[in-house]
Structures are given as C-alpha cells and as structure tokens.
Chains A and B, each alone.
Chain A
C-alpha cells in the first residue's frame, strides 16, 4: 500500500511534468502542423538557464525569468527559422526543428560542458512535506505538482476566457477566416510557439533540479513526449493530459516491479528453465523492460488506434 501510494504520487508529479511539455507540443502541432522536434531542447535550455540564473539571482527569479527567456528564444526561432522553411512543407519544418535540436545540444556542450551541472533544489524547498506510513515525501515534488496544476489552469483560462485564446482557438480550425477578420495570424503563431516554448522552459526549470541537468536530458525526454502526443491523439490537449498521466504511471511503476514471465509460470506451478526457447525473453523482469514500454505502447497504439486516445484525425 505504501509503495503504491508513493509511486502513484511520483507518477502524478512526473506525468504532470510530461503534460507541461506535451501541452505546448500539442498546441503548436494542432495550430501550425509542425511537429517540433526541438521541443525537448527548449526543456533542456530552460533547465540550463535556470541553473545559470539561480547562480546569479537565486531560484525564485530564475523560475520567472528562465521561461520568459526560453519563450523569447522560441519566438525568434519561429520568426526567423520556421517561417522561412514553411514554404517547403511540413517535412522541411520537421527537418529544421531536428537540426535545431542537434545544434542546441551541441551549443549546450559548448557552453556548459559535457557532464551534468550541479543545479539543485533550493534550500527553502528541501525537506519533507509529509510522512506517508514510513516514507518522507519531499516538498519539492509537491511544489512541482502545484506549479504544473496552476499552469494547467492558466492555459485553460487563457484558451477559453481571454480574447487571444479565442483567436487561437479560431485559428486552429479556420486560419484564413481569422486572417480575413483582421487578426495577424502569423503573429499569433509566433506567440503560440513562444508560449509553448516557455512552457517547456518552465518544465525544465522545475524538472532540471528534480531529475538531472545534463546535455543528454533533451534526447532522453524528447521521444517520450512524442509518445505522449501520439498516444493521446495528435492535437488533442485532453488526450495529451491522459496520456501524460498514463505514461507517468507506466514508467514509474514498471521500474519498480521485478516480476518476469518465469515468475508468473512458477506461481502456476510450471517451471521454465534456462534451456527453454527464448529463455532470455521469458526471464526478463518488468523493470528491465521499462525503457521499452512507452515505445511499445506507441507502436501498438499506431497499429490498433492510429488517432490516439482522444484524437479526432489520423496522422
């Protein structure tokens, strides 16, 4: 029970962090049709900016400034990069963001070195929030959840209650009509791209010190965020939310379970020896398969339900 509750809380905080990343990616995708390969790179530079700024000013200013910087960088990327390749089609845009992700990783190597940087949890958030059975639950995890949930409510209110949110919603489905009504749709695109990047940057600020800030963090999270977007359904925010939590649960629980098919059959009274065909496969424990599960889920999803959990369109 204790294991279950703690793991559930951990998967919730991880899932919410994934949603901060996937929400930006989903909004950008549904609006511009661009699958932003560099989205996880914005997450990474968010963490690195926060590390640098918290060294100068402290954690709290970094929490506000770093996402804004990342957002500004995202807008520059959209204005001077994506808009240039837009005329060559979606594959060119995908290639551009792919090249950008590659370049950002190298730039991080260049500036901050190849090993991880000591970006830690601030002292004011260090410690236990509450004790569940015998496990101390860290305050920082609670803080992460609070930030994610308030961002979630923020996005929801912006999209549904504000004027710019209505324009964004309209531009999602009818960009030409919105343009005819006198709104500057390219600028809306730029703002949305910047906003999505800023969200990713914020996720980096709070995720970088919870996990680890290193040049490989974008490559580690990027494919998972893609999995979330595909499983949830391309362009569906609600789907991305469900899929984020699902992947969070899947990844958190699977690393902790040491059961294999051999164990299962042993429970049923059938012994599978090391000489059985595909013995290596049967003796794999769930925790060993943990890195594969998200991708397996994605491939199965694409085979059996290509539009994802909540998706409305295919591919």
Chain B
C-alpha cells in the first residue's frame, strides 16, 4: 500500500537534475571537436523529441507511428517564421522561435488529435500511421509551403548580435539547444506530476476504471497528445535552427520510426528512459554510421533484442540493479557478468564480421574484393573470412548461452535472498 509521505527535500532528484544540467553545459568544454558538438546538438534535440514521444507511449499508453508529423510541421512553421523575420515582416527573437514550432505542433495536435485519440492501442497506432503517411504525401503536393524535394532553407543569423550571441557559431546553437532541452525536460517532468499527467497514467493502465471514476478518457488522451505535439514542435523548431534546412523527411515515416526506436531502447516506462535512448540512438546513428553503412541493421537488431528480452529498455536494466546494490549483493553478479560480456563480445565479433563481409560482398565483390576488418586484411571472395565469421558467430552463440544461463541463475539466487530479506 502506498502511504502519503511528507518529504521536505528530494535530495536525489536535485542531484540528478543538476548533474544532468552540469554535464550538458560542461561537455563541449571537454570535447571541443566539431564532430562531438554536432552529435551533442542532435542528442539535445533528440531528448526533447523522445521525451515528448514518451508522453504518448510511456505515460499515455499510446503507440504512435506518426509522431514526426508534429515535430516536422513545427520545424516548417519555424523555418517560415525565421524567413519572415529576415524579410522584416515582424520582429521576434530567434532564441524564442522554437516556441512558434511548439505552437504549430500543438495546433496540429488539436486538429489531428481529436480524431486519433478516440481509441488507444492498435487503432491509435494505425490512425497515427495513416495521418503520418497523409501529411508526408501532402508535403510533396504543396510545394509552396513544404518546398518540394529541396525543402526550405533559411539563415539563422538575423540582425545584430545581442550580447555577442548571433547563433553563427555552432557552440552558441548548442547552448540554445541545451537551454531549451533543460526547460522542456523540467516542464515535461513537472507535467507527469500534475493531475493530468497522473490521469494519463490511469487511462493507460485501466481506461474502464478511469471512466468509472468520472474522467473522459478521450479528453485525457487528447490533451496529452496536444501537449506532446507542443514539445515535439519545439524539438522540430530547434532542429530547424540547428540545420538551417527543413525537408519533407522531417515529417516522414523514418523520422517517426526513429523516435519510437530511441524511446523504446531507452525505456518507455521511466521518465529518464528516452534521455538514455536518445544518447544511444544518436551515438549509433552518427558514430557507428560513420564507420559502417550497416548501422541501421545493428540498430534494428538492438531494438528487436530489447523488445524480446528487455521490454523496459536500458532504463529498466539500470533500475533493476538498484535494490541489488542496496542489499550489497553486486559481488555475486560480477563474475557471471564478466563471463557474459566476454562471450558476448565473441558473438558480437562474429555477427559484425558476418554482416560486414556480406555487405562488402554484395556491394563490391567484383570490383574491389579486398577489405579490412578488426585490423585483418582479406579478400571477401575467399572462403576463409566466411569460415572464421561463421565459427565466431556459432561458437559465440553457444558459449554465450552458457554465460547467460549463469547470469540467470545468479539473478534467481539474488531475488531469493531479496525476498527473504523483505519477508
């Protein structure tokens, strides 16, 4: 039974939030290369987007396949607003233009949301997919607003610098993103504590009961979607300032799929899950994507593994260790974890070599059969690399099964001990 407690100060929460802010502010001072700055800007925008998505998936129980509609339309409105400001049609600080994107996102949330939120579950998923496809098809129809294939480009540097801030250098844009990300994170966290946020959880868990208590589930879902569209629009506006171009792919299905994958990998059941998810997702897209063309394959595989074996995402994997650490039982896990890691690395090496060799073979076996992987140079037309990859893959799979069983046994022991302690 939950009891009402009076807590004067939630110290842990303050520490987590302020260290998050500190990390975001300090990181670009440590990693000064342009590459990491681009990555961190992407992650910052991605965090807002994924958190707004999680208002639907995690807090409201609505699986959406078309969330990019709200961020994308927000981005389009922002880009047009910036272009109008440049022309001198009206005055508005660039710093606040994501707000225009947010309002546009909320506006389209009102328009599309009323229809789509009548039902949750599979029906909602299908309509959101339909709306997403519809808006994407429209983007190719109305070239005036959406800019057709080329998209709409803009220049974020408008007017005279204010206090030295012109948003010309990428670092200034990064701090703009960090500022907005922190504000949005706090706002979205605060939302989960409001009566509406709580009702969204209730509607997710048991809509029938929520209706008996007297709440209109449709209205709760609708308001959640509008707010989520607002934050998604802010993310869209920031991405518009970051890239200075908005194309039709901003409203496309791939963007919607991306935010779903990022959120779910991080963990939809926890508020900070999407934050972890964005970091993992964009690191994979940018860092792994820079090394291999097969990054999307690895990302899809990671997503499937999470769906199958850890549906709570990375966040649940972290949270599940908290009671173990509190009970000082982690020492029982180190050894099986080390074994699992070692065997997992063998499996991973086998998988990566298999995928990379296949990829190289299908792309350029005829023209350039030589390739290098893990420091070894070989020809993909020879049999040896295939044999080695197969042995690593199959052998790694077999030995990691043993290691995973050991992890499972260690965990069941620990759960047993924890149960005894609490009893």
Contacts and interface: CB of A to CB of B under 8 A. Distances in A.
Nearest to B127: A302
A28 B297 CA distance: 27
B115 A85 contact: no
Interface string A288-299: 110110011011
Interface stretch (B22-30, B131-139, B321-329, B333-341): B131-139
A102 B253 CA distance: 11
Q: How large is the interface on B (under 10, 10 to 19, 20 to 34, 35 or more residues)?
A: 35 or more
B387 interface: no
Interface of A: 35, 81, 84-85, 88, 90-92, 94-96, 98-100, 102-103, 106-107, 109-113, 219, 223, 226-227, 230, 280-281, 284, 288-289, 291-292, 295-296, 298-299, 302-303, 306, 314-315
B53 interface: no
B289 interface: no
A227 B137 CA distance: 15
B231 interface: no
A226 B119 contact: no
* 8 A-B pairs with the lowest CB-CB distances in the bound complex, closest first: A103-B300, A315-B123, A295-B134, A291-B137, A106-B297, A99-B304, A102-B300, A292-B137
B301 A85 contact: no
Given A85-B308, A295-B137, A306 B123 contact: yes
Nearest to A95: B307
Given A106-B294, A299-B115, 19 more contacts: A35-B126, A85-B308, A85-B311, A91-B63, A92-B307, A94-B63, A96-B307, A102-B257, A102-B303, A110-B359, A111-B358, A226-B129, A280-B142, A288-B141, A291-B141, A292-B138, A292-B141, A302-B115, A302-B123
B311 A292 contact: no
B304 A100 contact: yes
A42 to B, nearest CB: 16
B297 A103 contact: yes
A112 B358 CA distance: 10
A257 to B, nearest CB: 15
B140 interface: yes
Contacts of B303: 99, 102-103
B362 A315 contact: no
B354 to A, nearest CB: 10
Contacts of B362: 110-113
Interface string B237-269: 000000000000000010001001100100000
Contacts of A90: 121-122
Contact of A289 (B123, B126, B131, B141): B141
B375 interface: no
SS class, residues of chain B in contact with chain A: helix
Nearest to B142: A280
A99 B261 CA distance: 8
Contact of B131 (A226, A295, A314): A295
Nearest to B312: A88
Given A223-B133, A230-B126, A299-B127, A96 B304 contact: yes
Contacts of A107: 297
A219 B132 CA distance: 13
Contacts of A113: 362-363
Nearest to A34: B122
Contacts of B63: 91, 94-95
Contacts of A35: 122, 125-126
B248 to A, nearest CB: 12
Given A99-B307, A106-B296, A284-B141, A303 B121 contact: no
Nearest to B118: A306
A200 to B, nearest CB: 18
B144 to A, nearest CB: 5
A113 B144 CA distance: 34
Contacts of B118: 306
A79 to B, nearest CB: 13
Contacts of B123: 302, 306, 314-315
10 contacts: A91-B63, A94-B122, A109-B297, A219-B253, A291-B137, A292-B138, A292-B141, A299-B127, A299-B131, A315-B119
Contacts of A292: 134, 137-138, 141
B159 interface: no
B130 interface: yes
Contacts of B127: 298-299, 302
Given A103-B304, A280-B142, A295 B125 contact: no
B350 to A, nearest CB: 16
B284 interface: no
B355 interface: yes
A226 B359 CA distance: 32
Given A99-B304, A219-B253, A226-B130, A280 B125 contact: no
Given A103-B297, A291-B137, A303 B129 contact: no
B67 to A, nearest CB: 13
A223 B134 CA distance: 10
A94 B126 CA distance: 11
Contacts of B144: 280
Nearest to B143: A280
